[in-house]
Amino acid sequence: MLRSFVTEMSCFAGDPNFCPECGNILPLPGVQDVVRCPRCSFSIPVAEFSGQEIRSTVVFNPVEQSTMSLEGEDDSELKGAVIDRRCSRCNKEGMIYHTRQMRSADEGQTVFFTCTHCRYQEKEDS
């Protein structure tokens, strides 16, 4: 339904969620009679959106991909996000990190890194 209006008033036709003139994302229809592009001010009558269903989903990364748990010789566990950082001791990729505010509040926090392979610990002040 939107395409018929757009072909009469615009040079382009496309997804109804985007402005046919500049490609900017259109705001959701509201109480006004038209939907106006915030970038180029192209307007489409709100009636053109009648009957359209708008859906959105949020997909989170699985927990097992974003965290890692290691069991060591002393039965303590390391938990945290695993990042691509090379260990300066064993030269293998993959370290777990966590942050702490070690200094005053107006200074940066300290980042602690622990190697997932040899458990070597490094710190970095930011």
Q: What is the CA radius of gyration of the chain?
A: 26
The amino acid at 121 = Q
The owner of tokens 């293998």 is: 92
Portions of the chain given CATH number 2.20.25.10:
82-125
Rounded mean pLDDT of the chain? 78
pLDDT in tens, 75-117: 457 778 889 999 999 999 999 998 888 878 888 888 999 999 9
pLDDT in tens, 52-73: 776 778 887 666 555 554 444 4
pLDDT in tens, 15-39: 778 888 888 888 888 788 898 999 9
Which fold does the domain 82-125 belong to in CATH?
Answer: N-terminal domain of TfIIb (2.20.25)
Which pLDDT value is given to residue 102?
Answer: 81
Binding-site residue set for Zn(2+): 19, 22, 37, 40, 87, 90, 115, 118
Binding-site residue set: 19, 22, 37, 40, 87, 90, 115, 118
